[in-house]
Amino acid sequence: MRALKFRGREGSAMQEQIHATGHQNVLAEHTSTFEVTTDDYLTTAGDCILAVEADRAPADFDPDFVAACQDADATITAELAVGDQTETVTGSGHPDLSFESERSAVGRTSEHVDERTIMVNADSPALGFDRDLVADLADGADATLTLSVE
């Protein structure tokens, strides 16, 4: 799959987009992470998952985007758009971010890094997302996750 890379409004941010869909079991109650997955199912144990059936995973991202995110001074923004609602989470880059997961993109409020991690030190976990947006996701709404790095 071809990675999507383009300049932001001010010409300085590289971006990647993931399109996914909500699921009846979206709870968004996790206190330290949020996640979008390519899986087509969700159990209530996945309380950090916001959307399923993602059309892309971190392994699909452009190498230039990945390299930019590996800068410890990078600011990474995740914007989740659902209908006319948008939720924005800001976090940091990290030299150990690998973007190797072919399944899940996870934002973390901690500094833990694994192959799924797309940002560390996020300013919000799944529990912090607007409850109306979460309800729409639980009703199966389509979602677009746009990741930007500066």
What per-residue confidence (pLDDT) applies to 13?
A: 85
Alpha-carbon distance of 144 to 107, in angstroms, equals 15
Flag whether 136 is in a domain.
yes
Residue 122 lies in a domain: yes
Q: How far is CA 115 from CA 8, 68, 79, 106, in A?
A: 26, 16, 21, 9
Are 21 and 130 contacting, i.e. CB atoms less than 8 angstroms apart?
no
Its domain, for residue 104, covers 14-149
Do the domain assignments include residue 2?
no
pLDDT confidence band for 12 (50 / 70 / 90): low
pLDDT tens for each residue of 107-129: 999 999 999 999 999 999 999 99
Q: What is the distance between the alpha carbons of residues 58 and 34, in angstroms, rounded to a whole number? A: 14
pLDDT, one tens digit per residue, over 40-85 is 999 999 999 999 999 999 999 999 999 999 999 999 999 999 999 9
CATH number for position 94: 2.60.120.630
- Give the pLDDT confidence score for residue 88 in this predicted structure: 98
> Taking the model in full, what pTM does it have?
0.91
Q: Is residue 43 part of a domain?
A: yes
Q: Looking at the 3D structure of the chain, how many domains does it have?
A: 1
Q: Mean of the per-residue pLDDT values for the chain?
A: 93
